Structure 1
Amino acid sequence: MSLRTCLLLLCLVVCAATRGVADDGYRLWLKYDLMQAAGQRKGYQRNAQFISTKGGQSATLQAAAEELKTGLSGLLGQAVPVLADAKGKKGGIILQVDAAAADNAGLGEEGYRIYADKQNIIITGRRDVAVLYGAFALLRQVQTRQPLDGLTISSVPKIQHRLLNHWDNPNGTVERGYAGSSIWKWYELPEVIDPRYRDYARANASVGINGAVINNVNASARYLTAEYLQKVAALAGVLRPYGIRVYLSVFWAAPKVIGGLPTADPLDAKVRQWWTAKTDEIYQTIPDFGGFLVKANSEGEPGPQDYGRNHADGANMLAAALGRHDGVVMWRAFVYKADPNGDRFKAAYEEFQPLDGKFQPKVLVQVKNGPIDFQSREPFHPLFGAMPRTPLVLEVQLTQEYLGFATHAVYLAPLIKECLDADTYTQGKGSTVARVIDGSVDKHSVSGIAGVANIGSDRNWTGHPMGQANWYAYGRLAWDYSLSSKALAEEWTRQTLTNEPAAVQTIAGLMQQTRSIYVRYTTPLGLHHIMGESIHYGPQPWLERSARPDWTSIYYHRADSVGLGFDRTAKGSNALALYRPEVQKLWGNAQTIAPDYLLWFHHVPWRQKLSTGRTLWDELCTRYYTGADSVLWLQRQWAAVQPQVDPALHADVAARLQTQHKEALWWRDACVLYFQTWARRPIPAPFAPPQRSLADVKRLVDLYQLR
């Protein structure tokens, strides 16, 4: 028996054994399980006889070759050797770095081409990392059962810095994390390198993510010590072959806490010298360090305003410390002061818009998708389109802080797309948020997008198995924001759950509806920020006292005997005036505004008839009731695909959907009963009044606040 036959038999045995083991979700969308149809495998096997690298033997090219070998061997049930020289051979895959090729001139540093040439498939780009991305793209073609014959693909990322922001702490906790503890084992680093770090890198590279801010924006100065820089360097060494650079969130008062200085004033010469020396030390330890992320003068964090300076003073000081190093400063615009008479909607705009053009070239301002705080639906942030002389980073949240934690299935691609596709009209029609952040609207050469990670130590990485789709879709949209959320749902499903066509359509279809369903049973018609205090779990629309007025619910919904909603027109806070006239026209009239944004901008009488034909009160109740009932539809859809999905994984999601329905009813009852105290209207037919009282649901919320 030949060696090749032995390897093939071994592969088939392993694949067969794997099918008998429950899927614990660890492999994410990189499962590479054997295709069951022999005829289908045959169509791919003729193009996968070997793998060869050409133009270098870097660690990144080796990673690309190894991934292809592992993936194709598993999918096709045949050994796929990696050859040092494939001259004259046919039927294989050649990885080729070629910076001089004319056809590669428009690919930039990370773009790739895949094409057939002389019965071989060529994956090429100007750098080795581009070839790595191409290798994952080819595997995606096979995993999703797309043909390879006559294959011609060319892809260039639309955004330069495509980052995950981890809100992980040195003690292993994760702020707003719902998938276990941190994956970074700081007490073991740098001596012990968990294999999970490499699998994390593989997953990120497969969707084009090229940077990781590895610690919480509410940062600890400890990460800047020599001890921890060695630990960070060890992580950087694992991520580097996969094209991922590490970044650090920095604690503004670090010069005082670990530097022994009496001040952290950004204009103080000794402070500036300290940051320059510390930055040089970082780059000596981590030569490809990506730069700094800063949360300053926000929610109690120290910052330059403590010394009478502004955000540009602080950011520019760090930019100067970077000097000639290849790194950036990402300064978060999530800043708001406690003002009971103001409108938090306007806070970041009022602080940052006047600073437009005052930031140094290495500075990017990082702006959340909406003006409040990662709510389940928000209008796009008014800073997008209002700072033409400053590159802006879009920040979205993948961890479901306000979207049901790890018990609710909520596919976030539609939410992210809603923001990316929104038109700012800053340079006329078509000036979308996507084109603002990619730099094309204002001709910036640097661009960025950041996703607050939903990753933890749980075996399946994200707690809820469906949460993996949010990590996946975010990475793919960061690379190419023109992709549709439905297409990405289908891609993820095919690689992760099943390739059976009817089941794929069912799963992708239910995924597409999850976010709108969640909005209906929690914050319909533009309600926002009415969740539980502190941990942000469950409903608490009655919350009227907190450490700050803008941490209460009544600050936002403004319910009274007349109606509901926050008036942000000229008659109210006038936050609507922060947008271009074309946007004001969309949202300024309570009669014509899309119902989804109604209560964001208008205080509407309870009995006013909406465009739906119902009064505000009746429409509010209808959405709460039909939203909760729609979770039963999700359950039925999921039950229908049981034969095509791994039994353990299917049971996990089914159980979480049961919890989701229970909590949807909790949201429904809490909100309709509370708002009924103001509307003084009956629950409209055909809906039955809740069987529990407002006092009952209030007690339930109180239990979650116990410590």
Structure 2
Amino acid sequence: MKRKLLKNTSALALLLLVTISNVRADNGYKLWLEYSKLTNQKEVVFYQQKLRYLIFPATSATLKAAQAELQTGLNDMLSLKPEKSVEIINSQTLVIGTPQSLKSLAITVPDSIGDEGYLIKTTLVNKRSCILITAKTDIGVMYGVFNFLKLLQTRQSVNDLNISDHPRITYRILDHWDNLNRSVERGYAGSSIWNWHKLPGFIDQRYIDYARANASVGINGSVINNVNADALILSPAYLLKIQALANVFRLYGIKIYVSVKFSSPVELGGLKTADPLDPAVKKWWADKVNEIYSYIPDFGGFLVKANSEGQPGPQTYGRSHVDGANMLADALAPHQGIVMWRAFVYDNKVPDDRSKQAFNEFKPFDGKFRNNVIIQVKNGPIDFQPREPFHPLFGAMPNTPLMMEFQLTQEYLGFSTHLVYEAPLFTECLQSDTYTQGKGSTVSRVITGGFNKKLITGMAGVANIGTDVNWCGHPFAQANWYAFGRFAWNPDLSPATIADDWLRMTFTNDNGFVSPVKKIMLQSRENTVNYMTPLGLHHIMGVSTHYGPGPWVDNAGRPDWNATYYHKADSAGIGFDRTSSGSDALAQYMPQVKGHWENLATCPDEYLLWFHHVKWTYKMRSGNSLWNELVHHYYSGAESVKQMQLTWDKMSGKVDPERFAEVNQLMGIQLSEALRWRDACVLYFQTFSKMPIESIYPKPDHPLSYYKDMKFYYVPGIGGNNYMTN
């Protein structure tokens, strides 16, 4: 107890030091758009000489916003305000615009960059060398400006530039699980940023900065409300509020979408049914869509969660997902709107393995949806677990657009107290080979339309954003928002490259900071898997809250909400048998994938217990028994957090003291929770293995009963529950 008191006192002293320090503090609000002033005078002079003059005719609201961003960045970083000129073009001139806005300069742009791509290059304009940022559209110019500023933020040379880039995915969308009462389902960074009470009359600066941040990484859509939708969102009073947000977002190339409740015609329209084949229901939706577009001419469309976890849907009326999605699609089609129909469906009345249900429901409908329907599929077949194999639907519906859905908010990854950089998780899924069109048929190629160019493409990220000053609760959680945007633009990027850019833009370009902290980030997700769900374990968290360990949960009200349903630990072994001798979920994958994972000799350790029920004494590749290997992963995962702390401690003085102190304290919380996960799970599974914990490891601090009896009050992200037991 004395030791803990001293530790807390030290933390308080550190906070007081931050408060009274003369060193500039940073609360994280500016995200990766910090535009920190360059301190190396040689670099300052170099950039100032290259960027003395500016030709940037701002002929639209979007170009004016891009121009303002450029001027802010150059001024903050270089104390530079380029001279505006329409006459001087030389090696010190920055020329920016579309061929239309720069029509006097005869600029051309290749069709290959598309409507959102851009060029940044050192080239000849009017036979004189300059730096040119151009695009076919105003929003393309804005993307080019943000990326040019990134070059300066990361201290890259602007000599001999030749950058051509464009998004590989059309719809790059953040999904907010925000409720109209400003609570956020699975939100861990405060309340919803949408202040519905003050809209439409008051436009918070945060809305503008939100749009800037999204545009800086190419995100071009925002679903502003929870998939567990309230029909009220479609009422005229709320359409006025949404219109006000849309007017802000439009400048930054962002379209607004809403989640809709399938029963809205009944709840809002007074109809007796929401049957998608009923003519009155079709008319109600067509009229409602026309009304929406009268408020928001560039409205994006609908996101729908139907017939899942108690939500109404077409099956409520004996109809299919195709019937429901196509009915909405027909209403939106005249306005070029889309329907994002979620494939996250499972039913406790279906006796089959939950991981199989989405595939079984949607695979038969391949090619039957309208062209403006895109099926939104989670990265894995269960539910955003710390590690899952890729969803078998990817590649299984070649004639249907599939939209990747990642979760940025860390529902199963420690909320906002754990440092978990999710980019390696994204890449692990995106680069998985489905083999559906032969070797090299990666998930990335599937979702970018690599095998069917006629399909629309999309990627969605469940937002981790709230009213916390730093937006995401944990300073490093911002990196997941940033990484999502970068992957939605180009799914084949490297997690290391993205981490490097984010660290330099957000904290410092000091390699003494960037190099070791980047290693922390790249290892952090694997660390968390180890102390939570190693070797393919999954869904063993606390019931309802999803907070902390709960491998003993067996009374959640339905089998597929229980942890015991998934780990199936018994005296013989542990793991879910999804081979042909078990649930046969592996049959949903191509033979090459199935064969690799079904064979114990080739199944990676990472997925072992996902696909196999394995004896406690089974000899692993390491030479350990399964039991000893499981214990090793739990202990090494917790130990890795200690090592992460030691690395972070060395960063003192390299970054602002405010964020240093914040991360330092959060790492302390993460360690205590990692130890609880480790001890609770090892002790629980030991009741089945009956095998000892090797003496090289410290003994758990408490008996199993202690962890099972713990209560947690007002856990964030779950609504009105006052406490839950794990």
Q: CA RMSD in A?
A: 1.5
Q: Secondary structure at the match of 1:79?
A: coil
Shift of 1:639: 1.1
**Which AA in structure 2 matches 1:706?**
Y
The answer to whether structure 1 residue 217 and structure 2 residue 227 are counterparts is yes
Task: Provide the residue aligned with 2:259 in structure 1.
Answer: 249
- Which moved further from structure 2: 257-266 or 317-326? 317-326
**Which AA in structure 2 matches 1:277?**
D
Q: Secondary structure at the match of 1:618?
A: helix
Task: Provide the residue aligned with 2:201 in structure 1.
Answer: 191
CA deviation map 1:604-653 (0-9, x unaligned): 00001011211110000000011101100100111112221111101100
**Which AA in structure 2 matches 1:312?**
V
- Decide whether the 8 Å contact of 2:99 with 2:109 is kept in 1: no
Task: Provide the residue aligned with 1:706 in structure 2.
Answer: 723
Task: Provide the residue aligned with 2:183 in structure 1.
Answer: 173
Pairwise mapping of residues 6-45 of structure 1 onto structure 2 (< 5 A)? 20-45=23-48
- Decide whether the 8 Å contact of 1:275 with 1:318 is kept in 2: yes
Shift of 1:591: 2.5
Q: Secondary structure at the match of 2:163?
A: strand
The answer to whether structure 1 residue 71 and structure 2 residue 73 are counterparts is yes
- Decide whether the 8 Å contact of 1:160 with 1:446 is kept in 2: yes
Task: Provide the residue aligned with 1:670 in structure 2.
Answer: 680
Shift of 1:443: 2.7
- Decide whether the 8 Å contact of 1:485 with 1:512 is kept in 2: yes
Q: Secondary structure at the match of 1:642?
A: coil
Task: Provide the residue aligned with 1:343 in structure 2.
Answer: 353
**Aligned counterpart for 1:200 among listed residues 210, 235, 249:** 210
Task: Provide the residue aligned with 2:522 in structure 1.
Answer: 512
CA deviation map 1:289-342 (0-9, x unaligned): 001000000000000000000001000000110132121100000000004742
Alignment: residue pair count: 688
**Which AA in structure 2 matches 1:23?**
D
Q: Secondary structure at the match of 1:121?
A: strand
Q: Quick one: distance in 2 between partners of 1:515 and 1:220?
A: 34
Q: Quick one: distance in 2 between partners of 1:62 and 1:107?
A: 22
The answer to whether structure 1 residue 109 and structure 2 residue 101 are counterparts is no
Q: Quick one: distance in 1 between partners of 2:497 and 2:204?
A: 34
The answer to whether structure 1 residue 92 and structure 2 residue 98 are counterparts is no
Q: Quick one: distance in 1 between partners of 2:147 and 2:130?
A: 16
Pairwise mapping of residues 335-414 of structure 1 onto structure 2 (< 5 A)? 335-339=345-349, 341-414=351-424
| 1:171/1:50 CA distance change after superposition, 3 Å | farther
Task: Provide the residue aligned with 1:268 in structure 2.
Answer: 278
Q: Quick one: distance in 2 between partners of 1:264 and 1:103?
A: 48
Q: Quick one: distance in 2 between partners of 1:673 and 1:318?
A: 51
Task: Provide the residue aligned with 1:498 in structure 2.
Answer: 508
- Decide whether the 8 Å contact of 2:333 with 2:372 is kept in 1: no
Shift of 1:508: 0.7
Q: Quick one: distance in 1 between partners of 2:602 and 2:625?
A: 15
Task: Provide the residue aligned with 1:9 in structure 2.
Answer: none
Q: Secondary structure at the match of 1:617?
A: helix
Shift of 1:47: 2.2
| 1:341/1:267 CA distance change after superposition, 3 Å | closer
Q: Secondary structure at the match of 2:281?
A: helix
Long gaps (5+) in structure 1 = 1-17
Shift of 1:101: 5.8
**Which AA in structure 1 matches 2:253?**
G
CA deviation map 1:518-567 (0-9, x unaligned): 00000000000000011100000000011221111000000000000000
Q: Quick one: distance in 2 between partners of 1:685 and 1:442?
A: 57
Shift of 1:89: 6.2
Task: Provide the residue aligned with 2:62 in structure 1.
Answer: 60
Shift of 1:84: 6.8
Task: Provide the residue aligned with 1:643 in structure 2.
Answer: 653
**Which AA in structure 2 matches 1:43?**
F
Q: Quick one: distance in 2 between partners of 1:425 and 1:134?
A: 36
| 1:247/1:340 CA distance change after superposition, 3 Å | closer
- Decide whether the 8 Å contact of 1:366 with 1:395 is kept in 2: yes
| 1:564/1:230 CA distance change after superposition, 3 Å | same
- Decide whether the 8 Å contact of 2:172 with 2:218 is kept in 1: yes
Q: Secondary structure at the match of 1:94?
A: strand
- Decide whether the 8 Å contact of 1:561 with 1:678 is kept in 2: yes
The answer to whether structure 1 residue 292 and structure 2 residue 309 are counterparts is no
- Which moved further from structure 2: 466-475 or 435-444? 435-444
- Which moved further from structure 2: 119-128 or 245-254? 119-128
Q: Secondary structure at the match of 2:701?
A: coil
Task: Provide the residue aligned with 1:239 in structure 2.
Answer: 249
Task: Provide the residue aligned with 1:48 in structure 2.
Answer: 51
Q: Quick one: distance in 2 between partners of 1:62 and 1:103?
A: 21
**Aligned counterpart for 1:570 among listed residues 571, 580, 584:** 580
Shift of 1:484: 0.5
Q: Secondary structure at the match of 1:644?
A: coil
Q: Quick one: distance in 2 between partners of 1:548 and 1:620?
A: 28
| 1:702/1:68 CA distance change after superposition, 3 Å | closer
Task: Provide the residue aligned with 2:3 in structure 1.
Answer: none
Q: Secondary structure at the match of 2:691?
A: coil
Shift of 1:258: 0.8
CA deviation map 1:327-385 (0-9, x unaligned): 11000000000047421000100110011111010100000000000000000000001
| 1:351/1:340 CA distance change after superposition, 3 Å | closer
- Decide whether the 8 Å contact of 1:498 with 1:645 is kept in 2: yes
- Which moved further from structure 2: 692-701 or 234-243? 692-701
Q: Secondary structure at the match of 1:248?
A: strand
CA deviation map 1:410-448 (0-9, x unaligned): 000000111110111110111111111111123334100
The answer to whether structure 1 residue 281 and structure 2 residue 291 are counterparts is yes
- Decide whether the 8 Å contact of 2:343 with 2:358 is kept in 1: yes
Pairwise mapping of residues 349-498 of structure 1 onto structure 2 (< 5 A)? 349-498=359-508
